[in-house]
């Protein structure tokens, strides 16, 4: 026969001071754990949102990023005519040649320089990357020295409001619009007209990357093999999403390992804390346990009920910790990916919460195991004799 | 002093509780010290090189400067030395990004003279300077790839403009050591080779990513930076000169954010141990009501009772802190081999907990003990004998 759950809850409430200390301890550990995970998630999600699953990016073979890649227009034209690339209105291939560079610009906050990615695009970019939406002003006109600015850049960098001017390599560009891009890393970029930036950088005839919309994404591996087999142009093709996720890789990995390290060490500390509380709970109730046993409750049901009590502690701590972590949701941070600064927000994902919760549960069970085993093993007579 | 045995007897009486509390404190102090050591080395690293400036293209690092600028910069009053340093992006196999490591093409003679961080044995230094295909690597890099002096390696750049018909060949002339106490955070996983080799291999088209400029006095940094940038103000290619600290801050992954993050964690850690210890102490006092009443009856003053409980709590804190510090000392060598955790630790140069941080850790242990014992001991101080005796 089992003991009613209300028995455990009332017992925890009777020792509310000790209970709340243990709960707080667990919740802090869970909060730190979930907070670090959410930072990694936020960064990964920002870069993930940048890649469209239908798109593929063509780079110079062996270059790990757009910045270091470069190929000539002939290579671009050879790829763009391929039938596997989706067509838009009037049969134009959905292929966006891009020139990518980094420009150091002063931050709004302290005037220190920050590396901003500047991307030269043709009108095709807006169909291939359909997450880009102008929220103020208009798009740049082809052939003109005009730029549009991602919202994150506009917030972070001085003098990039609509109507102001930006000088790149002694060429003046007019800011004509502000855009959002579904939280992706494009929002940390400045976009200009392809030919305008090419002439400013003196790089006409070359490009850094070509992003294409595939009619059928499953054709990508064979397409890539064909590109790589061509010795003349030395190209390779990757899923766009994978390309951006790879850029997030090192930092995400670092944050996840940091989360692992910090939480394991803190977690063991919190297990000791929970153990103390459960020890006290058990020790203070020697006579009670004896009485329960005398009344006919079995050892296993006593074991179960005390583990349940430990679990309650942990679950409340876990919930509190997740709530604490939620206060970090949306917190802004920046980091460097591909030399350019990328803004991202902490994102507490469902998976992070589940991990946090499981972690709390494990702490609760581990903390209550040894005191509870002792309690259950105690002979009735000894238990009853205890104070 | 003569009450120490009394205090220890109490701690021993409920040794499971004392032990687990001390363990919790130890783990947290260990974590605190490890994180703070990392923060200190990060800060030390970011603040280094006050006598070095970096001149780059004024638009950004992606663009390069003409080689002819070197002589002009060297002629600026106050400039001691100038060295070219280009990030090469060389990889052993371009299709294996996981194997990538940092490598720079440098003007070795002047570069090594202004970077005492990289310590080379004299014969190895000489061998490196004499061999145009020579390179030097960090200790950690040598360990990762099992390289030794005399080995030959091939590298191909992932940067378009450094692509040559065939990969560049290098001979390892030496393995540099670092001094993490004097120069915290010095990267032990870099390969340096001769800029001249790169320039010739690319048909004199390498140009210059950064000029490292050594100056005589840190306080001249601002003046000289302006003087250098003014030199090229009216030319086609303008420069941007800043101190190495500013340069690092502009590059740093997470940079200042990371320090804030780690400090936040440290704060949470401290709070957690405070909670655990407070819990223990309040339990210790609660179960000892009768005993405290007896002590007071026997003539122990309220104050002495307060100090006895505080003493017990502080002793617990000290015990935990010392264990934590010892743990830190011994784990520093073990950690890099532990899966998951090893990945984090290995990325950074080997660090020992510096004495200052150890002292802070000990201080935190003691103050946590003090803070945790405060409430319970005050309760014991105030409680009247009759009240204490009434509870069983």
The pLDDT tens digits of the residues spanning A16-73 come to 877 888 788 888 888 888 888 888 888 888 888 888 899 999 999 888 889 889 999 8
Q: What are phi and psi of A83, to 5 degrees?
A: -70, -15
pLDDT at residue A387 above 80? no
Reading phi first (left if > 0) and then psi (alpha if -120 to 50, else beta), residue B62 is in alpha
**Which residue is it, tokens 């020890």?**
A279
pLDDT at residue A80 above 70? yes
Task: Read off the pLDDT band of B348 (50, 70, 90).
Answer: low
Residue A218's CB is within 10 A of a number of other CB atoms, namely 8
Please calculate the CA angle A343-A347-A350 and round it to the nearest 5 degrees. Answer: 160
B268 in contact with A, Cβ within 8 Å: yes
Decide if A21 and B279 are in contact by the 8 Å CB cutoff: yes
Q: Say what the pLDDT of residue B293 is.
A: 85
Mean pLDDT value across residues B240-265 = 77
pLDDT at residue A251 above 90? no
Decide if A251 and B240 are in contact by the 8 Å CB cutoff: no
* Cα distance between residue B147 and residue B103, in whole Å: 15
* Cα distance between residue A122 and residue A125, in whole Å: 6
pLDDT at residue A162 above 80? yes
* Cα distance between residue A321 and residue A263, in whole Å: 13
> Looking at CA atoms only, how far is residue B269 from chain A in angstroms?
7
Q: Say what the pLDDT of residue B179 is.
A: 83
CA dist list (Å): A148 to A161, A168, A178, A233, A351: 9, 14, 5, 31, 36
- Write the DSSP symbol of residue A139: P
Reading phi first (left if > 0) and then psi (alpha if -120 to 50, else beta), residue A82 is in beta
Contacts B233 to A, Cβ<8 Å: none
Chain length of chain A: 387
Task: Read off the pLDDT band of B193 (50, 70, 90).
Answer: very high
Share of chain B above pLDDT 90, in %: 34
CA-CA-CA-CA torsion sign (B27, B28, B29, B30): positive
Please calculate the CA angle B99-A72-A89 and round it to the nearest 5 degrees. Answer: 105
* Cα distance between residue A92 and residue A213, in whole Å: 12
3-state SS assignment for residue A84 = coil
3-state SS assignment for residue B135 = strand
* Cα distance between residue B113 and residue B43, in whole Å: 24
Evaluate whether B308 touches B380 at the Cβ level (below 8 Å). no
Q: In A116-239, which ranges are continuous DSSP H helix?
A: 124-128, 151-156, 194-200, 220-229
Evaluate whether A286 touches A383 at the Cβ level (below 8 Å). yes
Decide if A280 and B94 are in contact by the 8 Å CB cutoff: no
ipTM greater than 0.85: no
**Which residue is it, tokens 């409920």?**
B14
* Cα distance between residue A334 and residue B311, in whole Å: 46
Contacts B89 to A, Cβ<8 Å: 68
* Cα distance between residue A212 and residue A125, in whole Å: 9
Mean pLDDT value across residues A201-215 = 90
pLDDT in tens, B141-176: 999 899 999 999 999 998 888 988 889 999 999 999
> Looking at CA atoms only, how far is residue A333 from chain B in angstroms?
7
Evaluate whether A56 touches A237 at the Cβ level (below 8 Å). yes
**Which residue is it, tokens 């093993």?**
A377
Of B31, B60, B250, the CB nearest to A103: B60
Name which residue leads in pLDDT, A121 or A1. Answer: A121
Decide if A39 and B61 are in contact by the 8 Å CB cutoff: no
* Cα distance between residue B65 and residue B212, in whole Å: 13
Tokens of B330: 């011994």
B189 in contact with A, Cβ within 8 Å: no
B372 in contact with A, Cβ within 8 Å: no
pLDDT at residue A341 above 90? no
Decide if A276 and B283 are in contact by the 8 Å CB cutoff: yes
pLDDT at residue B256 above 70? no
Q: Say what the pLDDT of residue A97 is.
A: 94
pLDDT at residue B254 above 70? no
pLDDT at residue B92 above 80? yes
Give the number of A-B residue pairs with CB atoms closer than 8 Å: 171
CA dist list (Å): A170 to A234, A340, B69, B337: 33, 21, 20, 52
CA dist list (Å): A167 to A147, A160, A164: 11, 11, 10
Q: Which helix (H) or strand (E) holds A57?
A: strand A55-60
Name which residue leads in pLDDT, A194 or B43. Answer: A194
Decide if A262 and B343 are in contact by the 8 Å CB cutoff: no
Contacts B59 to A, Cβ<8 Å: 101-104, 168-169
Decide if B276 and A260 are in contact by the 8 Å CB cutoff: no
Chain length of chain B: 392
pLDDT in tens, B217-228: 889 999 999 999
Mean pLDDT of chain A: 85
Burial letters A155-173, b for 16+ CB under 10 A, else e: ebbeebeeeeebebbeeeb
Task: Say how many CA atoms lie within 13 Å of B122 toward its Cβ.
Answer: 0
pLDDT in tens, A264-304: 887 888 788 777 777 777 777 777 888 888 888 888 888 88
Rg (CA), chain A: 30
Residue A243's CB is within 10 A of a number of other CB atoms, namely 22
82-101 of B, contacting A, C-beta below 8 A: 89, 91, 94-95, 97, 100
Evaluate whether A15 touches A280 at the Cβ level (below 8 Å). yes
Given the DSSP bridges, would you call strands B190-194 and B90-91 parallel, antiparallel or unpaired?
Answer: unpaired
Q: Say what the pLDDT of residue B160 is.
A: 85
Decide if B160 and A280 are in contact by the 8 Å CB cutoff: no
Tokens of B271: 């709070």
Of A22, A115, A254, the CB nearest to B60: A115
Name the residue ranges covered by the structural domains of chain A: 5-48+247-385, 55-213
* Cα distance between residue A241 and residue A238, in whole Å: 8
CA dist list (Å): B35 to A115, A253, A265, B347, B357: 28, 17, 12, 14, 10
pLDDT in tens, B290-345: 888 888 888 888 888 888 888 888 888 898 899 888 887 777 666 666 555 555 55
pLDDT at residue A334 above 80? no
pLDDT at residue B130 above 90? yes
> Looking at CA atoms only, how far is residue A362 from chain B in angstroms?
16
Nearest chain B residue to A36 by CA: give it. Answer: B261
Decide if B251 and A336 are in contact by the 8 Å CB cutoff: yes
Decide if A336 and B252 are in contact by the 8 Å CB cutoff: yes
Q: Say what the pLDDT of residue B172 is.
A: 96
Q: Which distant-in-sequence residues (6+ apart) come within 8 Å of B24 by Cβ? A: A268, A269, A270, A272, A273, B273, B276, B277, B320
> Looking at CA atoms only, how far is residue B57 from chain A in angstroms?
10
Q: Which helix (H) or strand (E) holds A41?
A: helix A16-50
Mean pLDDT value across residues B102-124 = 94
**Which residue is it, tokens 């970096």?**
B54
Task: Read off the pLDDT band of B60 (50, 70, 90).
Answer: confident
Angle between helical axes of A299-326 and A240-283 (0-180°, round to 10): 130
B161 in contact with A, Cβ within 8 Å: yes
Decide if A17 and B252 are in contact by the 8 Å CB cutoff: no
Q: Say what the pLDDT of residue B307 is.
A: 86
Mean pLDDT of chain B: 85
Task: Read off the pLDDT band of A199 (50, 70, 90).
Answer: very high
* Cα distance between residue B303 and residue B282, in whole Å: 18
pLDDT in tens, B171-188: 999 999 988 778 877 888
pLDDT at residue A255 above 80? no
* Cα distance between residue A125 and residue A302, in whole Å: 67
* Cα distance between residue B240 and residue A148, in whole Å: 25
Residue A74's CB is within 10 A of a number of other CB atoms, namely 10
3-state SS assignment for residue B66 = coil
pLDDT at residue B349 above 60? no
CA dist list (Å): A290 to A3, A279, A284: 14, 16, 12
Task: Read off the pLDDT band of A2 (50, 70, 90).
Answer: low
Residue B39's CB is within 10 A of a number of other CB atoms, namely 18
Q: Which helix (H) or strand (E) holds B191?
A: strand B190-194
**Which residue is it, tokens 């070095």?**
B52
Share of chain B above pLDDT 70, in %: 92
CA-CA-CA-CA torsion sign (A111, A113, A117, A121): positive
Nearest chain B residue to A367 by CA: give it. Answer: B20
Nearest chain B residue to A26 by CA: give it. Answer: B272
Q: In A4-15, which ranges are continuous DSSP H helix?
A: 5-14
Within B11-131, strands assigned E span 52-57, 79-87, 90-91, 102-106
B23 in contact with A, Cβ within 8 Å: yes
> Looking at CA atoms only, how far is residue B245 from chain A in angstroms?
12
Decide if A266 and B31 are in contact by the 8 Å CB cutoff: yes
- pTM for the complete prediction? 0.78
Q: Which of B237, B81, B249, B90 is nearest to B168 (CA)?
A: B90
């Amino acid at each position: 026969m089992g003991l009613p759950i209300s028995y455990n809850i009332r017992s925890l409430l009777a020792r509310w001071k000790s209970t709340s200390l243990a709960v707080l301890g667990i919740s802090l550990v869970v909060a730190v754990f979930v907070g670090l995970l959410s930072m990694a998630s936020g960064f990964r999600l920002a870069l993930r949102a940048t890649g469209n699953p239908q798109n593929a990016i063509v780079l110079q073979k062996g270059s790990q990023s757009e910045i270091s890649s470069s190929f000539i227009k002939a290579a671009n034209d050879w790829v763009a005519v391929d039938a596997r690339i989706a067509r838009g209105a009037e049969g134009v291939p959905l292929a966006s040649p891009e020139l990518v560079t980094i420009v150091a610009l002063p931050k709004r906050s302290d005037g220190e320089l920050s590396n901003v990615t500047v991307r030269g695009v043709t009108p095709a970019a807006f169909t291939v990357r359909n997450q880009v939406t102008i929220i103020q002003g208009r798009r740049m006109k082809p052939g003109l020295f005009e730029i549009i600015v991602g919202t994150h850049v506009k917030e972070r960098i001085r003098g990039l409001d609509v109507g102001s001017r930006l000088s790149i390599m002694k060429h003046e560009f007019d800011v004509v619009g502000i855009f959002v891009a579904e939280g992706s890393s494009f929002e940390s970029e400045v976009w200009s007209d392809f030919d305008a930036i090419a002439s400013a950088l003196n790089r006409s005839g070359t490009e850094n990357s070509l992003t294409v919309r595939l009619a059928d994404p499953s054709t990508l591996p064979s397409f890539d093999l064909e590109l790589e087999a061509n010795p003349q142009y030395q190209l390779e093709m990757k899923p766009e999403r994978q390309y951006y996720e790879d850029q997030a890789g090192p930092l995400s990995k670092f944050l996840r390992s940091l989360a692992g390290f910090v939480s394991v060490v803190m977690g063991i500390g919190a297990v000791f804390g929970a153990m103390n509380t459960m020890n006290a709970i058990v020790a203070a109730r020697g006579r009670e346990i004896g009485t329960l046993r005398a009344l006919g409750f079995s050892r296993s049901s006593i074991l179960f009920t005390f583990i349940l009590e430990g679990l309650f502690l942990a679950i409340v701590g876990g919930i509190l910790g997740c709530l604490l972590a939620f206060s970090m949701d949306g917190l802004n941070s920046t980091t460097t990916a591909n030399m350019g600064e990328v803004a991202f927000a902490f994102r507490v994902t469902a998976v992070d919460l589940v991990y946090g919760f499981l972690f709390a549960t494990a702490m609760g069970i581990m903390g209550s195991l040894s005191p509870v085993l002792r309690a259950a093993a105690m002979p009735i007579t000894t238990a009853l004799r205890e104070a | 002093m003569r009450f120490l045995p009394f205090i220890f007897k109490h701690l021993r009486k409920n040794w499971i509780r004392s032990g687990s509390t001390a363990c919790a404190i130890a783990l947290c102090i260990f974590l605190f010290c490890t994180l703070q050591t990392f923060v200190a080395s990060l800060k030390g690293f970011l603040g280094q090189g006050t006598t070095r400036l970096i001149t780059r293209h004024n638009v950004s690092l992606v663009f390069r400067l003409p080689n002819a600028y070197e002589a002009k910069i060297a002629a600026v009053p106050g400039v001691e030395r100038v060295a070219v340093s280009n990030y090469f992006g060389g990889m052993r196999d371009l299709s294996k990004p996981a194997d990538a490591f940092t490598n720079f093409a440098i003007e070795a003679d002047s570069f090594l003279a202004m970077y005492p961080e990289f310590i080379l044995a004299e014969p190895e230094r000489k061998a490196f300077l004499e061999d145009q295909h020579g390179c030097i690597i960090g200790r950690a890099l040598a360990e990762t790839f099992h390289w030794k002096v005399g080995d030959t390696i091939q590298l191909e750049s992932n940067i378009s403009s450094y692509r040559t018909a065939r990969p560049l060949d290098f001979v390892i002339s030496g393995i540099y050591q670092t001094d993490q106490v004097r120069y915290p955070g010095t990267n032990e996983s870099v390969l340096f080779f001769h800029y001249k080799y790169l320039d010739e291999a690319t048909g004199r088209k390498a140009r210059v990513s950064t000029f490292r400029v050594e100056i005589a006095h840190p306080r001249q940094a601002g003046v000289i930076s302006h003087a250098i940038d003014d030199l090229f103000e009216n030319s086609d290619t303008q420069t941007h000169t800043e101190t190495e600290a500013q340069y690092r801050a502009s590059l740093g992954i997470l940079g200042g954010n990371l320090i804030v993050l780690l400090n936040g964690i440290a704060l949470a850690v401290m709070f957690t141990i405070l909670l655990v210890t407070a819990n223990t102490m309040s339990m210790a006092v609660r179960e000892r009501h009768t005993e405290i009443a007896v002590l007071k009856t026997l003539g122990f003053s309220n104050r002495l009772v307060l100090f006895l409980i505080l003493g017990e709590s502080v002793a617990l804190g000290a015990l935990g802190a010392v264990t934590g510090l010892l743990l830190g000392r011994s784990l520093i060598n073990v950690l890099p081999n532990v899966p998951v955790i090893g990945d984090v630790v290995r990325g950074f140069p080997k660090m020992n907990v510096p004495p200052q941080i150890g002292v802070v850790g000990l201080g935190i242990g003691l103050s946590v003990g003090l803070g945790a014992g405060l409430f319970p001991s005050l309760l014991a101080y105030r409680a009247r004998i009759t009240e204490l005796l009434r509870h069983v």
